[in-house]
Amino acid sequence: MSSLQRDRLRAIISGLLAERGDIRSFTDTESLFLSGRLDSMAATNLIMAIEAEFEIEVGGIDFDVSMLDSVEEMCTLVS
């Protein structure tokens, strides 16, 4: 995955966290859902944003929220 794609993912995540009042930084390997920083509503918004930004269909795969738990996991998903 290119650094531009990773930056686009990080921007999406930062926006979702900011909507929840969470402006703390995060690493590419940090858990976002298991840690409680993002919740199931955020998962829905994140999926829609990833599908729009990267022009992919997430619903067509065997999906599990763990695929969205970190930037690294999301990079694998969109590659």
Q: What's the CATH number where 41 sits? A: 1.10.1200.10
Tell me the DSSP string of 9-73. Answer: HHHHHHHHHHHTT------TTS-STTTTSS-HHHHHHHHHHHHHHHT--GGGS---GGGGSSHHH
Express each pLDDT in 7-57 by its tens digit.
Answer: 999 999 999 999 999 999 999 999 999 999 999 999 999 999 999 999 988
Domain region containing 9:
3-78
Structural domain tally of the chain? 1
pLDDT at 46: 95
- Using the predicted structure, report yes or no on whether residue 63 has a pLDDT greater than 80: no
